[in-house]
């Protein structure tokens, strides 16, 4: 039985402002791993180890999750951290007007349980992961960059597809492959 590391997401086209944020984070010489621009996305549901034989069933649930939802835009605004400023693990950009994303994510979370996927413990929080922090080296410099971009409007992003993706972890970073794509407004 073949498995893959899977997740359901919305791709985001990186803007010059997102590139600038990444460059400024890198200049802090903080011990971080920036997300490659081509890999930036909004995760709707992390699946983890997924059996290939479930792809069609997952695709059907994805189609149901976007039923009646037309393409829409979200605003990428603000920068923050998970879990908190004392112990930074992730640097993220926030998503405004994310009600439709939340609706899709909650549907996926609820209905994928019948395929054996675990329900999320935390409620959905729409965000883009920009960097993963490995240690507290130069944390104060990183916090200054985060503060600079607090309340900053990066760009808007059109949401017109939801994708099932396969993540292959490599020494150079993850490689994402789209396994299926559901267009909004077609069901």
Please write the tens of the pLDDT for every residue from 66-97: 999 999 999 999 999 999 999 999 999 999 99
Residues 6+ apart with CB under 8 A from 63: 182, 187
CATH number at residue 30: 3.90.1140.10
Is 153 within a domain? yes
Domain span holding position 35: 11-52+72-157
Residues 6+ apart with CB under 8 A from 5: 47, 48, 49, 50, 166, 167, 168, 169
Is 43 within a domain? yes
Q: Kindly state the percentage of the chain with pLDDT values over 70.
A: 99
Please write the tens of the pLDDT for every residue from 110-169: 999 999 999 999 999 999 999 999 998 999 999 999 999 999 999 999 999 999 999 998
Is 46 within a domain? yes
What's the total number of domains in the chain? 1
Q: Kindly state the percentage of the chain with pLDDT values over 90.
A: 90
Is 178 within a domain? no
Active site residues: 41, 127
Nearest-5° Cα angle at 45, 69 to 106: 50
Tell whether pTM > 0.85: yes
């Amino acid at each position: 039985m073949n498995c893959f590391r899977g997740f359901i997401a919305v791709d985001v086209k990186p803007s010059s402002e997102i590139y600038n944020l990444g460059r400024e984070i890198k200049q802090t010489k903080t011990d971080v791993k920036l997300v490659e621009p081509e890999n930036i996305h909004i995760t709707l549901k992390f699946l983890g180890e997924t059996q290939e034989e479930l792809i069609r069933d997952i695709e059907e649930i994805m189609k149901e999750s976007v039923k009646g939802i037309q393409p829409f835009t979200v605003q990428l605004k603000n920068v923050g951290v998970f879990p908190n400023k004392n112990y930074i693990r992730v640097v993220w950009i926030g998503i405004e007007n994310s009600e439709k994303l939340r609706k899709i994510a909650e549907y996926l979370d609820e209905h994928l349980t019948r395929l054996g996927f675990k329900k999320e413990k935390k409620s959905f929080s729409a965000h883009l992961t920009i960097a993963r922090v490995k240690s507290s080296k130069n944390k104060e410099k990183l916090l200054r960059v985060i503060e600079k971009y607090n309340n900053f409007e990066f760009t808007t992003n059109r949401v017109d597809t939801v994708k099932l993706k396969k993540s292959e972890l490599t020494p150079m970073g993850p490689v994402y492959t789209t396994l299926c794509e559901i267009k909004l407004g077609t069901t």
